[in-house]
Structure 1
Amino acid sequence: MSESNEALEYINEMARTRGYVLPYHKRMAEADMDALKAANNLVKAVYTDQRRLTKQMKELIFITSLTVLRASHGQIASHIKVGLDVGLTKEEILEAIEIMLPECGVVTFQHGFEVWADVCGVKGIEPTVAVHDDSK
């Protein structure tokens, strides 16, 4: 089997197991399969292999910890999508993100909330009175 076929098969298996593949996984598969396999084995041991925590609990932990770390939009979104796929409701995910407010503050909460709103299709309600637009 060629290296590129092995890498593709490995990435496909990661996608089947995790429900997502991040951009760095794809690049590592091409650049350094040994390192990717070592990192993935750690993830298998603590995340994808079934142990004591349910898949739903693990996804909530991932979503909140990635939000606290201010991870990329795509990384948080991938775990929100997996969370929804494994049976979490969008309200349960939002509640987990809201738990961060007292300990981590509004800025951290907003980071996770914006990703959640994008993934869940929450558009927001626009005021009908004139307001100053600070988003620019």
Structure 2
Amino acid sequence: MSEAQEYIDQMATSRGYVLDYHKVMAAADFPALQAANDLVQAAYLSERLLDRKTKELLFILSLTVMRAPKPQLKSHIQVGLSLGLSPQEILEAIEISLPEAGIVSFQYGVEAWAEVVGAERLEPTVSVHTGTE
């Protein structure tokens, strides 16, 4: 097994996910991937004053505000759940985006969250205009 493959496997184990760019960089420019991952390790993965759950909530919030690619946001929601965060805790973090980033970012985050957690929906029992007529 190559050093790059071992590194990607270790990333998957420690993070709980591997993004497509990690896979590409492992094959195309392994030293650059290592350098980028060292920064992520220090700022995000290593527990210092903030624990991993708190950092994950902040990461989910920042990805929501930036409207990061939905698979990336969803993977962090899944990591948060695997760390023991409740769906409601994650939703509350996403809700923080509303006053600062606006409704579009908020809706984007809620949509990703709902897809991951299988959120229930209440449908109107009255006739509504769908906007497609």
TM bin, normalised by shorter chain, reads over 0.9
Q: Could you list the runs of 4 or more consecutive aligned residues of structure 1 that deviate by over 4 angstroms after TM superposition? A: none
Q: Does 1:77 align with 2:35?
A: no
Give 2:111's match in structure 1, choosing from 111, 114, 118.
114
Q: Distance in 1 between matches of 2:63 and 2:96?
A: 14
Q: Distance in 2 between matches of 1:134 and 1:71?
A: 27
What is the TM-score of this pair, normalised by structure 2? 0.93
Give 2:43's match in structure 1, choosing from 41, 46, 51.
46
Q: RMSD of the TM alignment (CA)? A: 1.6
User: 5+ residue gaps in structure 1?
Assistant: none
Q: Tell me what 1:94 maps to.
A: 91
Would you say how many aligned residue pairs link Structure 1 and Structure 2? 133
Give 1:128's match in structure 2, choosing from 125, 130, 133.
125
User: 5+ residue gaps in structure 2?
Assistant: none
What is the TM-score of this pair, normalised by structure 1? 0.91
Q: Distance in 2 between matches of 1:40 and 1:102?
A: 32
User: How far off is 1:123 after superposition?
Assistant: 4.2
Q: Does 1:30 align with 2:27?
A: yes
Q: Distance in 2 between matches of 1:121 and 1:134?
A: 25
